[in-house]
Amino acid sequence: MSKALRQSLSSVAGVVLGKEEQVRLAVACLLARGHLLIEDLPGVGKTTLAQTLARVFSLQYGRVQFTSDMLPADILGVSVYDPDNREFHLKEGPIFTQLLLADEINRTTPKTQSALLEAMEERQVTLDGVTRPLPDPFFVVATQNPVTQTGTFPLPESQLDRFLMRISLGYPAPEMERELLAGGDRREAAEQLEGVLQPQDLVKLSRAVEKVHVSADLVDYVQRILEYSRACGEFVSGLSPRAGLGLLRAARAWAVLDGRDYVIPEDVQAVLGPVCEHRLQPVAGGSALGAGQQLLEAVPVVRGS
């Protein structure tokens, strides 16, 4: 692993205290060119994590706070009539940025949520029949409050599927929390953070990720995971082929973070929960284990009798 990458990891971890695992997953998600969904209670550092990531990778950063009265134009932009030139100009919305923090995405209506769809998948925006590319790289880091809280609209499955990973932060460990309380404002710390990598470096790194070797045995393992999720009867519907591709991409990124040029089953297992859990809806009365843990324990790493 390049020195810069290791340094950027520790920089982020220095701001978001006690969350090495989640930080690593978030970086892997970016390396895999995937969008990230952070689900947790308000005030555990979701926004800080997103902001820190943007700083470390020197990404242009835009933030949209989603509310229930928001319209798609508030995100994508709007055509404005220019009386001087007698023509319409596009006034670009906040989405035209490298890293978009979509805060509390489930507070807005499905209509506005779906405005993000094309942007996330195609990395382009179509307004008034004109298609405009988004900057490269382009990431969406969305945060959402637990669906059980009041005033939330659950994200549709189609949109959930477009996030490569969903992670949750959780409360920090006691000593970390003490350290956090003793230290200054985290947001300030994030803002003061120097950029370690340039956006071009990120693009280069994600190209390297795509070259990581995946053996036939590993593809077989991933395929059996998909098959099991469809056949086991624990989930309403199984994993899609897109989920499988995402799983492989995330596992490759994880291998890069581990300094390897080939993927091993542990890489798959490390990203399995974050990649799969938001795509699988357990059937009523199913297992108490998380979806990721279930798949991990039930599917043999190596094909056998």
Partner 1 sequence: MARVYQVPRHAMLWMMLAVILAGLPHVITGPAWLGGLLVGAVLWRWLIHRGRLRMPRRAVRLALLGAMVGGIFYHFGTLFGPTAGVSLLVGAFALKLLELFRLRDAYVVIVLGYFVLATTFLHQRGALAALYVLVVLAVVTAALIGINQPESGGRARDHIKLAGVMLLQSLPLTVLLFLIMPRIAPLWSMEADESRARTGMSDSMAPGEVSDLSQSDELAFRVTFEDEAPPRAQRYWRGMTYTRFDGRRWRQGGLGESWRTRDLFFPGRGSPPQWWEQWRDQRARPTYTYQVVMEPSRRRWLYALAVPFSETEDVGVARDFRLLREKEIDSTFAYRVTSYPEMPRDYRLTERQRQRNLQLPAGFNPRTRARAEQWRSDAATDQAYIQRILDWLGREQFYYTLQPPELGRNTVDEFLFDTRRGFCEHYASALTFMLRAVDIPARVVAGYHGGEANPLGDHLRVRQRDAHAWVEAWLPGQGWVRFDPTAAVAPSRIEYGLDRALEEQGSQGAGGVLDNLDQLPLILQMGYLSDYVEFAWYKWVLGYDQGARLELLTDWLGKVNPVRVGLALTAGLVIIVLPLAAWILLQRRAPGLSVWQREYWRMLDLLRGEGMRVHPGVAPRDLVERVARRNPSAAEALQTWSRDYERLVYGPHPGDRAAQQRLRRERRVVRRALRRR
Q: 129: phi > 0 → left, psi -120 to 50 → alpha, else beta; which?
A: left
Residue 150 contacts partner 1 per CB under 8 A: no
- Dump strand ranges (E) for the chain: 35-39, 61-65, 77-82, 87-92, 99-103, 124-127, 130-133, 139-144, 163-167
259 binds partner 1 (CB under 8 A): no
Q: Does 213 bind partner 1 (CB under 8 A)?
A: yes
Stretch that binds partner 1, among 77-85, 133-141, 196-204, 296-304 (CB under 8 A): 296-304
Stretch that binds partner 1, among 45-53, 150-158, 185-193, 256-264 (CB under 8 A): 256-264
Residue of the chain from 7, 10, 200, 215 that contacts partner 1 (CB under 8 A): 215
Residue closer to partner 1 (CB basis): 45 or 265: 265
- Residue 275 binds partner 1 (CB under 8 A): no
Contact status: 280 vs partner 1 (CB under 8 A) = no
Is residue 294 a contact partner of residue 248, using CB atoms and an 8 Å limit?
A: no
| Closest to 13 measured CA to CA, from 3, 26, 30 | 26
Does residue number 296 form part of the binding site for partner 1 (CB under 8 A)? yes
- With binding defined as CB under 8 A, does residue 301 bind partner 1? yes
Of the pair 123, 260, the CB lying nearest partner 1 is at 260
Long-range CB contact pairs, 127-133, < 8 A, 24+ = 127/76, 127/77, 127/78, 127/79, 127/90, 128/79, 128/88, 128/90, 130/90, 132/90, 132/96
Binding residues vs partner 1 (CB under 8 A): 213, 215, 217-218, 261-266, 269, 295-305
